[in-house]
């Protein structure tokens, strides 16, 4: 860690300094990478915060802190100055940068990998689309965010399980089966009406056509089971094509259908528990969750007056099951249209004895498609959305995943199909991948001087120094992704790294210069390739050696 490591050391310095001034409370200061026009590696507002509490001149406090920092962080900081009203600007020593660069070269793909977080068992549950139709591009964005977040958390050493929750019971599955059966009979020549609330997509006709081609008789077919299996297989195929993997597939039937020796399902038992504890009550023949007690805007039905459980009842039982599997934190990725559902689930987990911190719900906005800036219709007259598979077939997995991860989950995302296919620097994924390809092109032309040790003191130009500073921020960026639960920081970081690399490439020749300098720059490019390749891998994107 670069920034966070120094930040921790600064916190100790600041705490001791504040106490020497009679301040006992924590000083919540920031350590930031300053804008490009500021000639510094790090900047902090700490002096102004302390000065405000002491009612004194922040520049005087800044100078006192600088004297301590330059003494105690002699290895890391070579110079410091005061800017503006009292900002402290810091510059790294060359030795510090070189040692961090060597860590990348030594650890290779394990760079920034942590081992000390295994005690935290995290579940990332995402996609979880009902097996009633193919995945659409909205599901694709959730899949990219969830899978990449899981990869990043694993790299940071957390014990992570990625799970898909299958809503494979209930009336929706009955409607799916009946929709398939009617299409089957219609294709066989029967003149019968379709269901008003049936699934009208062409994929239902495709399933019915497959069943006819297999030669099965109507009475031999379990239409619900056949439709469910074929749609689920299609979902799995699409996710595989999208480079998304799950550690576990959890079926709703395990908690809503399977019964114990007392003839009770997990849904039955959790509803009994909530009622016994006073968290649920009966009214007008229905069972209600007292979710207003924990901040929801109204109480919610768990069991209808006709005896049918709601989706909420199954979801509460499912979350109870998650915590029984010893997960210390559960991360759910839901579409933004589920925002009203967050409060009731938060209420439910507290009723189950968990803290609010044990659940993190990430709401992601849907995607709007454009082609050369012109909006693309998202659905057909039959109500079918553009599928994830259609977009993958057109632009490829790499571009699709990278574009889905360009923005924070709660930000609107405009996906330009033509831009995603463009083989130029305008296309952000191509721009980043080309860095690795360009590095490997140089490696192929380099005649390795194995008897020459790399002298990193030669890497002293602004372009070289900027590149090293950016590379060694990699672990900090992953930690930010974890703290915010958003991989988009990594996507942004890789594009910024590509910018700095291309500036380096324009100004600094690697081959056809003095051998010692070539060797040092080759090692720098190896570090670039390691970080770019690993960063893209954590996003689920390839890093080709040739383009």
- The pTM of the full predicted model, rounded to 2 decimals, is 0.93
- What is the residue whose two structure tokens read 């996003």? 539
pLDDT of residue 151: 98
* E strand segments, 151-243: 159-166
Q: Sheet of 121-125: strands edge to edge?
A: 248-251, 159-166, 121-125, 329-335, 359-364
pLDDT of residue 282: 96
Q: Please state the three-class secondary structure of 436-470 as a single string.
A: HHHHHHHHHHCCCCCCCCCCHHHCCCHHHHHHHHH
* Alpha carbons 50 and 27: distance in angstroms, whole number: 7
424-538: same fold as 3-92? no
Is it true that domain 3-92 has CATH number 3.30.1360.70?
Answer: yes
pLDDT of residue 236: 98
Q: Which residues pair with 250 in a beta bridge?
A: 165
Dihedral pair phi/psi, residue 91, rounded to 5° = -125, 135
Longest CA–CA separation in the chain, Å? 90
Per CATH, the homologous superfamily of domain 424-538 is: Isoleucyl-tRNA Synthetase; Domain 1 (1.10.730.10)
- Give me the numbers of helices (H) and strands (E) for the chain, helices first please: 20, 15
pLDDT of residue 116: 80
* Alpha carbons 169 and 35: distance in angstroms, whole number: 54
Sign of CA dihedral 139, 141, 145, 150: positive
- The CA-based angle 393-394-398, given to 5 degrees, is 80
* Alpha carbons 162 and 239: distance in angstroms, whole number: 13
Task: With CA atoms as reference, report the closest residue to 383 among 199, 163, 111.
Answer: 199
What SS3 state is found at 371?
strand
pLDDT of residue 495: 98
pLDDT of residue 3: 63
Residues in the chain: 547
* Alpha carbons 285 and 307: distance in angstroms, whole number: 9
Query: What is the CB neighbour count within 10 angstroms for residue 411?
Result: 11
DSSP state of 306: T
pLDDT of residue 537: 98
What SS3 state is found at 151?
helix
Burial of 404 (0-12, 13-18, 19+ CB in 10 A): buried
* Alpha carbons 188 and 215: distance in angstroms, whole number: 11
The structure tokens listed for 19 are 């106490």
The residue ranges of every structural domain in the chain are: 3-92, 171-241, 424-538
Distances (CA, A) of 105 to 138, 417, 541: 39, 37, 22
pLDDT of residue 222: 96
* Alpha carbons 283 and 226: distance in angstroms, whole number: 39
- What is the residue whose two structure tokens read 């062409």? 202
pLDDT in tens, the chain (547 residues): 566 678 889 999 999 999 999 998 889 998 988 888 888 999 999 999 999 999 999 999 999 999 999 999 999 999 999 999 999 999 999 999 999 999 999 999 999 999 888 889 999 999 999 999 999 999 999 999 999 999 999 999 999 999 999 999 989 999 999 999 999 999 999 999 999 999 988 999 999 999 999 987 888 899 999 999 999 999 999 999 999 999 999 999 999 999 999 999 999 999 999 999 999 999 999 999 999 999 999 999 999 999 999 999 999 999 999 999 999 999 999 999 999 999 999 999 999 999 999 999 999 998 999 998 899 887 654 556 789 999 999 999 999 999 999 999 999 999 999 999 999 999 999 999 999 999 999 999 998 877 788 999 999 999 999 999 999 999 999 999 999 999 999 999 999 999 999 999 999 999 999 999 999 999 999 999 999 999 999 999 999 999 9
pLDDT of residue 451: 76
pLDDT of residue 379: 65
Distances (CA, A) of 397 to 154, 238, 314, 385: 22, 10, 34, 19
DSSP state of 119: T
Q: Which residues pair with 239 in a beta bridge?
A: none
- What is the residue whose two structure tokens read 């802190």? 65
Task: With CA atoms as reference, report the closest residue to 437 among 513, 538, 518, 525.
Answer: 525
Instruction: Please give the radius of gyration of the chain, using alpha carbons only, rounded to the nearest integer.
Output: 28
Dihedral pair phi/psi, residue 240, rounded to 5° = -65, -45
């Amino acid at each position: 860690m670069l920034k966070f490591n120094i930040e921790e050391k600064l916190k100790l310095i600041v705490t001791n300094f504040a106490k020497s001034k009679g301040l006992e409370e924590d000083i919540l200061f920031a350590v930031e990478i300053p804008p490009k026009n500021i000639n510094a590696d790090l900047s902090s507002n700490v002096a102004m915060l302390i000065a405000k509490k002491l009612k004194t001149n922040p520049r005087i406090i800044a100078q006192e802190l600088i004297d301590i920092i330059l003494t105690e962080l002699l290895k890391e900081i070579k110079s410091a100055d005061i800017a503006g009203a009292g900002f402290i600007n810091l510059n790294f020593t060359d030795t510090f940068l070189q040692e961090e660069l060597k860590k990348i070269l030594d650890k290779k793909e394990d760079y920034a990998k942590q081992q000390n977080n295994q005690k935290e068992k995290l579940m990332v549950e995402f996609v979880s689309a009902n097996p009633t139709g193919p995945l659409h591009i909205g599901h694709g964005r959730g899949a990219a965010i969830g899978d990449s977040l899981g990869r990043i958390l694993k790299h940071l050493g957390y014990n992570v399980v990625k799970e898909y929750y299958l809503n494979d019971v209930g009336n929706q599955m009955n409607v799916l089966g009946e929709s398939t059966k009617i299409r089957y009979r219609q294709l066989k020549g029967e003149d019968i009406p379709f269901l008003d609330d049936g699934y009208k997509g062409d994929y239902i006709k495709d399933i019915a056509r497959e069943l006819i081609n297999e030669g099965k008789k109507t009475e031999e077919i379990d239409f619900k089971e056949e439709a469910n299996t074929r749609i689920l297989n299609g979902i799995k195929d699409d996710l595989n094509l999208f480079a998304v993997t799950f550690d576990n597939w959890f079926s709703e039937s395990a908690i809503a259908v399977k019964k114990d020796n007392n003839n009770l399902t997990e849904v039955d038992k959790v509803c009994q528990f909530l009622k016994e504890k006073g968290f649920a009550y009966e009214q007008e023949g229905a069972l209600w969750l007292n979710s207003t007690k924990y901040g929801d805007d109204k109480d919610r039905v768990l069991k209808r007056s006709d005896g049918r459980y709601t989706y909420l009842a199954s979801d509460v039982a499912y979350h109870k099951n998650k915590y029984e599997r010893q997960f210390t934190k559960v991360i759910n990725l839901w579409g933004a249209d589920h925002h009203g559902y967050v409060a009731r689930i938060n209420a439910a987990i507290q009723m189950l004895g968990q803290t609010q911190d044990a659940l993190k719900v990430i709401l992601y906005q849907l995607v709007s498609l454009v082609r050369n800036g012109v909006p693309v219709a998202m659905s057909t007259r039959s109500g079918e959305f553009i599928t994830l598979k259609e977009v993958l077939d057109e632009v490829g997995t790499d571009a699709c995943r990278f574009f889905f991860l360009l923005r924070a989950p709660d930000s609107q995302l405009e996906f330009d199909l033509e831009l995603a296919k463009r083989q130029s620097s305008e296309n952000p994924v191509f721009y980043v991948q080309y860095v690795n390809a360009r590095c490997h092109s140089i490696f192929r032309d380099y005649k390795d001087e194995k008897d020459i040790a790399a002298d990193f003191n030669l890497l002293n130009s602004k372009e070289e120094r900027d590149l090293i500073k950016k590379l060694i921020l990699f672990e900090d960026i992953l930690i930010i992704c974890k703290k915010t639960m958003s991989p988009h920081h990594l996507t942004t970081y890789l594009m910024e790294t590509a910018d700095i690399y291309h500036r380096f490439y324009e100004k600094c020749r690697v081959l056809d210069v003095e051998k010692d300098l070539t060797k040092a720059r080759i090692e720098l490019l190896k570090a670039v390739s390691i970080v770019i390749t690993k960063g893209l891998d954590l996003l689920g994107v390839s890093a080709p050696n040739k383009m």
